[in-house]
Amino acid sequence: MADIHAKKTIAYEAEIMERGDVTAVGKKQVIALTTSDFLSNEAPEEPEEKSSLSAWEQATEVLQLTQLGVEKSSWAAFWLTERGDLCYANEGACRCLGYSRAQLYQMNIGEIDSEWGAAKWAQWWAAVKLGGSLTLETQHQRSDGTTFPVELTANYVELKGSSYLCCFARDITKTKQAEVEWRHQQERERLVGAIATKIRQSLNLPEILQTTVDEVRQLLATDRVLIFKFNPDWTGTVSVESVGQRSFSILEEIIYDPCFSEDYVRQYQEGRVRGISDIHNEGLDECHVNFLSQFQVRANLVVPILFNQELNITTNPQQLLDRQFSDYHPASSQLWGLLIAHHCQETRQWEQWEMDLLKQLATHVAIAIQQSTLFEKLQLANRELERLATSDSLTGVANRRMFDEHLEREWRRMLREESWLSLILCDIDYFKRYNDNYGHQAGDACLHRVATAIRDAVRRPGDLVARYGGEEFAVILPNTNRTGALQVAEAIRMSVRDLGIPHSASGVARMVTMSLGVATAFPSPNGEPEMLIAAADEALYEAKAKGRDRLGHSTLQRR
C-alpha cells in the first residue's frame, strides 16, 4: 500500500454479486481509484461509457459506503504490506492504540503486536497466505505501553501484483474480564457448594474448618487464611490456619489486640466486612499498625463469624443451612470469631468478589460450628438420658436393667472367648434393722456410701457394679476365675467395714458389714446367665448361714 500513499493509480476489481438486500447490477467491473479517492468520500470521475453509467454509479456508492463503514468502525482496521508495515489504519485503530494515523504509517506490526514481530512475521504471513484468512486472539500494545487483548482477523489480498493483509482487531477486554469473573463465580460456587455438602454430610468440624481455610488460601492466592475464636474478654485463639510458608504460622497463638474496642465488636456484630489493602496507608491507628506488623501482615481481609442465638438444640442441620443466617439481627447474633485472609509479603487490593466469597464462607463456617455445638449438646443430653435409664438414681451405680443386659452380653462374650465369668452378690447385714433404728434418710445415705465403697474396690473398667435390689448389690467380673473373684469380694467386704458406719442394731458388729456370695462359671452353649445368678445367690445364703460378714463361693462345673 505504499503505492497508495504515493497516490499512484491502482485498479480495483469490484464484482457485484447477489447477496441478501444487495442486487447484482452487472458483470465484473474494473474501477480505477486514486489514493485520495479511496481515503475520502468524494466520487471518482465517471467513465466515458454511458451504457455502464448506472452500474458504475452503484458500484461507486457501494465502495464509498464500505470505505466509510470501515473508517468509522469501532473495531481497529489496518492494512499491512508484505514487510509488515502499516499502510492504512482507520479511526478505530488510532483510538484503540493511542497513535495518530501519521504515527501508525511509520510503524511495523511488530511494534503493536510482539507475536507478529520480525522473528515470527514470515511464519504468520505464510499461514494467512495459505489459508486466505486467519482469526486468533493476541495482545496489542498501546502508545503508553499497556497491553490489551484483541481478536484479530487477517485476510490475504492481492492487488496488481502486490500482496497485503487486511486486518480487523476487536478489543475483547470486557469479554476476557467477563470470562475471569465467570471462572471466579464458578470457583466460588464450587467451593461454597463443597463446604455446604461437607456440613450436610459430616459432623467432623476440624475437617470442615481445615478444608475451608485451605481452599480459600488457594483460591485467593494469599499467604495466610485463619479462623480466629474470641474469648469472653475479647482475646482469642487462632484455632485453624492455612499458610503458604511455615514462617507465617501462628496456629494456636493466643492473641490480644489492644486496639480492639467495643466499636469493633458492634461493627462486626452488624456483619461488617473490612478489607485493608495496605496497613500503612489506610489511616489506621499506630497501635493497630504495630499489632498487625508483628504478625507480618501487609494487607488483610476480615469477615465476622456470627451465631444466631435464636437457634437451639431442636434446630436440625438442614434448617441451619436453609436459613443461612440471612435474616440475622444484631440483637440475636453472637460474634463467635473472625475468618481472616492475610497478605504478608506485599500489599494487595482486595476485589469485591473476594469479599463476597469470604462473607458467604463465614456464614457456612458459622453454620458448621453451631451445628457441631448443637450436636455436642444433643450427644450430652442423650448420654445423660441413657445414664438415667441405666443407672440407679440413689446410689449412682448401674440399675437392675443394666445389670441384666450386661450379664447377658458378658456371658456370650466369655462363651466366644472361652474364658471365666464371675459374679458377686452383696447384701448389707441387718439393713432392715438399720432403717428401723436410724430412719430411711440415714438408710439412703448408707446405701450411697456402701455403693461408692464397692465401686472403689472394683477397679477394672470392664467390671460392672449394680444395685440388684433393696440393700443388695451385684458385681460382674469378666475374665475372672475363682481366685480373682474371691480377692475382689474380700476387698469389697473390707472397704465396707472401713467406712465405719455405726449400726447398733446389727447382730454381727457395731458397724455396717456385708455378706457376699461369689459364683464362677466357664460359660457353655448349654448354660444360661441365670445359672450363675442362682449359684451366687446360693453362695450368699451360705455366707449368711455361717454368721454373716463373710464370703461364700460356688463354682459351676463345665457341661
CB burial readout 304-325, b (16+ within 10 A) else e: bbbbbeebeeeeebeebbebeb
Strand partners, 469: 472
Which residues lie closer than 8 Å to 545 by C-beta, 6 or more apart? Answer: none
**Sheet strands (E) in 432-510:** 464-469, 472-478
Rounded CA separation 419/426 (Å): 23
How many CB atoms sit inside 10 A of residue 41's CB? 10
Radius of gyration of the chain from Cα atoms? 46
Q: What does residue 33 show for φ and ψ, rounded to 5 degrees?
A: -125, 145
Q: In the beta sheet, which residues pair with residue 340?
A: 226, 302
Edge-to-edge strands, sheet with 299-308:
254-255, 236-243, 224-230, 333-343, 299-308, 274-276
Q: How many helices (H) and strands (E) does the chain have?
A: 17, 18
Query: Which three three-digit cell numbers place residue 213?
Result: 481455610
For residue 119, how far is the Cα from the chain centroid? 48
- Whether 531 and 537 have beta carbons less than 8 Å apart is answered as no
Q: How far is CA 192 from CA 197, 324, 394, in A?
A: 9, 12, 51
The Cα–Cα gap between 43 and 108 comes to 31
Alpha helices for 132-239 (secondary structure H): 173-201, 205-220
Catalytic residue, chosen from 471, 528, 530, 538, is 471
Look up 471 and say whether it is catalytic. yes
Q: Which residues have a catalytic role annotated? A: 471
